[in-house]
C-alpha cells in the first residue's frame, strides 16, 4: 500500500507513469501461496499481492520485489519485468505478462490449458508440469469484455466435449467495477450461464480466501476441468487510478468509509485473535 501511495506522489511530480494499485485486494496473496510456482499464471493489474507471494515462494527478497515494482511504476528500463515497456505483473519463468487493461489474458490462458494438456496427451514436450493449472485473474468489470466472453465460452465448450481444460479463472468483485455499480450481478446472474464449477470466497477474510483457493486449485488439478474462483466482499481503497474522480459516482461518506477499510489491518486482527502473533510482534515485522 505504501508503494502504491508513493506511485501516485511520483505521478503528481512527473516521475511516475502508472498509478493503478492493489488497495483493498491485498489478501489475494492467498492465491499466490496456494498455487504452485510452476503453474502458468497471468495476473490482472490489481493483483500485486498474488505476485509478491509467488516471488517470495521462489526465494526472492522483499526488497528486490518492491524495488522491481517501483521501477515498473516509473516505467524504467531497469524494470526486470518489461524493461520499461509497460508496468505489468510477472517476471518468473511461469508468468505471462498482461499489458491490457481489459481481459486479453483470457484466451491465451485457455490456450495454455488446452495446448499443455494436448502436449502431455501426445507425449510431446511441454513447458508445464503434467498436473499444471493454467491460472488467470481479472476484475468484475473485465467480464463484460469480448476477450473474456469468448475465452470462457471456449473453455466451457471444450469441457463439455470432455477435453482436458485445467483452467482456473479468478474474478475479484469489488461491486463497483471501475465506476459502475454491479449489484451482485456476477453471483446472482452472470456466472450461472457457465457450466463450470464456481467457488466463492470472501476477499476480506484471509482464512476463507486461502481455503477456497486451495479448494479451487485442487478441483481443477484433479479433475482437469475449468473452475471459477469468485472473490467477493472486497472494498476498493482509493480511486481506480490517480486520474479517477470518485466523487462523480460515490458520496463523500462512501469514499471515507472505503478509505478507512484496510484488508491488511483485518488480517493482523485475525492473526492476533488466533494467538498466532501478538500485536507487538506484528508491529516489529512491519517495521
Assigned domain for 113 exists? yes
Assigned domain for 184 exists? yes
Tell me how far CA of residue 75 lies from CA of 19, 99, 120, 148, in angstroms: 11, 13, 38, 27
Give the predicted TM-score (pTM) of the model: 0.94
Assigned domain for 133 exists? yes
Containing structural domain, residue 141: 33-46+92-232
Rounded distance, CA 145 to CA 226, Å?
A: 19
Give per-residue pLDDT as tens, 177-209: 888 899 999 999 999 988 899 999 999 999 999
Rounded distance, CA 177 to CA 172, Å?
A: 10
Looking at residue 84, its pLDDT comes to 87
Rounded distance, CA 21 to CA 1, Å?
A: 8
Backbone angles phi, psi at 95, to 5 degrees: -95, 140
Assigned domain for 9 exists? no
Rounded distance, CA 203 to CA 264, Å?
A: 11
Half-sphere exposure (Cβ direction) of 192: Cα atoms closer than 13 Å: 5
Assigned domain for 188 exists? yes
Rounded distance, CA 153 to CA 156, Å?
A: 5
Looking at the structure of the chain, the number of domains it has is 1
Assigned domain for 41 exists? yes
**CB of 166 closer than 8 Å to CB of 195:** no
Looking at residue 18, its pLDDT comes to 83
Looking at residue 101, its pLDDT comes to 66
**Domain of 218: which CATH number?**
3.40.50.970
CA angle 38, 43, 45 (to 5 degrees): 150
Give per-residue pLDDT as tens, 197-246: 999 999 999 999 999 999 999 999 999 999 999 999 999 988 888 788 88
Assigned domain for 193 exists? yes
Q: Within the chain, which residues score under 50 in pLDDT?
A: none
C-alpha cell at 189: 446472474
Assigned domain for 268 exists? no
Rounded distance, CA 189 to CA 204, Å?
A: 22
Looking at residue 16, its pLDDT comes to 81
Amino acid at each position: 500500500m505504501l508503494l502504491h501511495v508513493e506511485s501516485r506522489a511520483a505521478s503528481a511530480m512527473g516521475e511516475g507513469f502508472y498509478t493503478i494499485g492493489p488497495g483493498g485486494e491485498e489478501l489475494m496473496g492467498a492465491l499466490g501461496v496456494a498455487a504452485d510456482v510452476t503453474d502458468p499464471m497471468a495476473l490482472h493489474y490489481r493483483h500485486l499481492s498474488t505476485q509478491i507471494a509467488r516471488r517470495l515462494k521462489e526465494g526472492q527478497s522483499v526488497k528486490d520485489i518492491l524495488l522491481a515494482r517501483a521501477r515498473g511504476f516509473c516505467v524504467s528500463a531497469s524494470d526486470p519485468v518489461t524493461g520499461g515497456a509497460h508496468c505489468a505483473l510477472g517476471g518468473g519463468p511461469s508468468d505471462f505478462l498482461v499489458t491490457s487493461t481489459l481481459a486479453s489474458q483470457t484466451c491465451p490462458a485457455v490456450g495454455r490449458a488446452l495446448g499443455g494438456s494436448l502436449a502431455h496427451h501426445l507425449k510431446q514436450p511441454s513447458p508445464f508440469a503434467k498436473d499444471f493449472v493454467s491460472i488467470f485473474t481479472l476484475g468484475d468489470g473485465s467480464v463484460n469484455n469480448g476477450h473474456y466472453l469468448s475465452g470462457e465460452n471456449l473453455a466451457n465448450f471444450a469441457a463439455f466435449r470432455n477435453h482436458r481444460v485445467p483452467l482456473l479463472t479468478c474474478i475479484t468483485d469489488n461491486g463497483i467495477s471501475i465506476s459502475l455499480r454491479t449489484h451482485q450481478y456476477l453471483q446472482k446472474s452472470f456466472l450461472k450461464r457457465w457450466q463450470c464449477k464456481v467457488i466463492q470466497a470472501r476477499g476480506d477474510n484471509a482464512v476463507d480466501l486461502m481455503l477456497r483457493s486451495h479448494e479451487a486449485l485442487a478441483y481443477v488439478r484433479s479433475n482437469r476441468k475449468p473452475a471459477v474462483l469468485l472473490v467477493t466482499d472486497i472494498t476498493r481503497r482509493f480511486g481506480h487510478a490517480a486520474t479517477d474522480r470518485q466523487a462523480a459516482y460515490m458520496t463523500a461518506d462512501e469514499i471515507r468509509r472505503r478509505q478507512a477499510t484496510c484488508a491488511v489491518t483485518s488480517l493482523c486482527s485475525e492473526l492476533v485473535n488466533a494467538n498466532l502473533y501478538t500485536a507487538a510482534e506484528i508491529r516489529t515485522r512491519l517495521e
